[in-house]
Amino acid sequence: MTSRRAVLAGLGAGTVLSASQLRSFAQAASSSAQIVSVGGAITETLFALGLGAQLRAADTTSTFPAAANALPKVGYLRQLSAEGILAMKPDLVLLSGEAGPAAAVAHLKTAGVALEQIDIGRSPAAVTNMVEAIGAATGKVEVANTLAATVTDQFKRLDAELPDGDRKSVLLLLAAGNGPLLGAGANTAASAAINLAGGALAFPDMQGYKAVSLEPVLAADPDWIILPSHVAMALGGPEGISALDVVARTRAGPEGRVAIIDSHYLLGFGPRAPQAAADLATLLYPDADIPLLNRDAAPSSLVSLVAV
């Protein structure tokens, strides 16, 4: 069988590879092609499809599973160097649609290496579409279809068990401490995750991630305060979080409704997205019969409560 590298050897540096070419390459040497993955959700999916051994390198948002951390890194998702990726001599580059800068992406598209940009969405359909697209690009169509069907079923099972009635309000903070609070509004990964868990934004009319002062937060008095793990680390962990005015002066703090959730787990929207939403739903609605879905792939230790 003709190898992917051999096919690519005849292409000039200015070649832009079509979708049909990529599908052909996916059938060639699919068991040995060296892949560079840019995007945590993409890397997570590649491992789930059994392609971890073929990963040559990944970006710094690729933190799951643990083996992803041992891979050579090509930089941060939105601050890539095309030269750094090409230095890995990949047969295939799978690139998140969120990757940048634009100049680096344009360079990669004309470098004569098989490349496919994968859309990373924030809905059940978008997650399954991503899995299927990666399967098509790597020749793992059947395995990817099975995984996509499992993810779809998990989302449906979760949605069926979410309680009716008033939704718990959630304030997810992307920054806190010395500067202004940075809260999550609509049309964000955070809002999508909160919605999938049956929650409601503390500031539903706010768009994107915006600075908010303490006074409106105290007025909103959210049922839950959520901090992604990278924010919690910057604050010095649970002790630093418990000292925040936004925690101590809202009902959520004294009543034990402040949580740290792994950043890429909750906001990454890879194959673990249904379980991440289920973990959040379990916090919001402890009396509901929230399904466990797949604890082997997403242990509940990724969620921790802060004692105030």
Q: Pick from 124, 157, 190: which residue ends a domain? A: 157
Q: Does residue 178 share a domain with residue 130?
A: no
Q: Does residue 152 share a domain with residue 296?
A: no
Please report, for residues 2, 91, 113, 250, the alpha-carbon distance to residue 10 in angstroms, rounded to integers and kept in the order given: 12, 13, 11, 64
pLDDT above 70 (res 209) = yes
Q: Does residue 9 share a domain with residue 52?
A: yes
Q: For the chain, what is the domain count?
A: 2
Nearest to 276 by CA among 23, 82, 34, 64: 64
User: What percent of the chain clears pLDDT 70, i.e. is strictly above it?
Assistant: 85
Write out pLDDT tens, residues 258-280. Answer: 999 888 899 999 999 999 999 99
- Cβ–Cβ under 8 Å, residues 184 and 191: yes
Q: Does residue 295 share a domain with residue 196?
A: yes
Please, which pLDDT band fits residue 173 given cuts at 50, 70 and 90?
very high
pTM of structure: 0.86
Please, which pLDDT band fits residue 223 given cuts at 50, 70 and 90?
very high
Q: Does residue 108 share a domain with residue 42?
A: yes
Q: Does residue 151 share a domain with residue 232?
A: no
* Segments forming the whole domain that contains residue 260: 166-305
Q: Which of 10-14, 177-181, 281-285 has the lowest mean pLDDT?
A: 10-14
